Amino acid sequence: MSHEMATAILPFYVILVLGGNAASVGLIEGSADGVASIFKSYSGYFSDKSGKRLPVMYLGYLLTGILIPAIGFATNLVEVFLLRIGAWCGRGARGPPRDALMTQSVSKSSIGKAFGFERALDSFGAVIGPSFVLLLIPHFPFSKIFLFSVIPAVVCLAVLLLFVREAPRKSKGAKLQEESKSQVTTFWSTIRSQPREFKIMLISVGLFGIVNFSNVFFTLRAEEVLQPSLGETEASELAVLLYVVLNIIYAVGCYPAGYFADRISKRNLLALGYFVFALACIASIFETPNYLILGAIFVLAGLQSAIVDTVEKTYATEILGDSPKGTGFGTLQTINGIGDFTSSALIGILIVIISPSFGFSVVAVVAMLASALLLVSMKRR
């Protein structure tokens, strides 16, 4: 809820208040994800090496809780750039140990449902956050709205400190955990020891990541096509409302995606997610103020986020087996982070320099190639 409040209004704050453009948004979004990706591998490796997941999670949630509201005090693009990077470094650092802790806390047959449930709850917060923003836009300037995000951040940190515990070390699970920990030597040797099939999977993930831009660009594009007919304020409100719809679809779709990932081919399901993203981009090529087209784009974008975010981790868990999970998830999220940097910067530049239609066309083609590569290169399990 906290970071999605900021994400929903960040492009409008950058463009309408600070005088930036789509390329500025892409650079800020992409750089934050790119720099944060460095911390993902090391945080996962550190949690494997120490056998403790919570210390890194504490630090990560604290950083995002402080720095995201601080964006409201920024007076220029450089300050937004630095604060966004700092906040996302915390977000990146907490992810791999959290995911590893989850896999230690449920049975293997329920990994997909666990990740689906976690993504659904995360998405539920992503619905509440922008919805709250929608109520605040008519009454507060964008800079003040950022400050409200500190409230859910404080509650989040309190829940983490009071209720979350390390996974119990007992029976067969403890033995596997100790074996996994014993495989952790140096950082690079631990990465090199990951299964060959996992490394092949990362190639497809990386190719898709190159074009899997932040969903804020769907919001920004919607605001752009709606502004001539509705005006700046109403267009911003409707764009945020569409972003809420996206997150509702995301929230509703995560658990079913995890449920099916436990029962059918994870490879095929993940490839479907990549293809759905391509469809959303194809629809964006023909984007107009037509509400049906706009709604279809945001529904498809929410559906692909639910499938990809849930199934990627579930598939990785299956392939990693008893290999160190923290390092594995860190590597996966690092590849995604590098892709996020490339994709957000790329789509922003293509939109500004050439045209939105060309930018979305390029993205759609690459996403379909990633889907095909996954189906061809990976064995069906």
- The domains of the chain, with CATH numbers, are 2-377 (1.20.1250.20)
pLDDT of 256 strictly over 90: yes
Phi, psi of 267 (to 5 degrees): -60, -50
Alpha-carbon distance 222 to 240, whole Å? 9
Question: What's the pLDDT at 121?
Answer: 87
> What is the pTM assigned to this prediction?
0.72
pLDDT of 178 strictly over 80: no
Phi, psi of 76 (to 5 degrees): -155, 170
Biggest alpha carbon–alpha carbon distance for the chain: 64
Number of residues in the chain: 381
Question: What's the pLDDT at 176?
Answer: 45
Residues 112/115/120/122 CA torsion (nearest 10 deg): -170
Calculate mean pLDDT across residues 116-126. 85
Half-sphere exposure at residue 372, Cβ-oriented, CA atoms within 13 angstroms = 7
Q: Which residue, 56, 36, 158, is CA-closest to 99?
A: 56
Q: How far is CA 66 from the centre of its chain?
A: 20
Question: What's the pLDDT at 186?
Answer: 67
Hey, what long-range contacts does 299-303 have (CB within 8 A, 24 or more apart)?
299/245, 299/246, 299/249, 300/276, 301/215, 301/218, 301/246, 301/249, 301/277, 302/245, 302/246, 302/247, 302/248, 302/249, 302/250, 302/253, 303/249, 303/250, 303/253, 303/276
For the ranges 52-61, 152-161, 332-341, the lowest mean pLDDT is seen at: 332-341
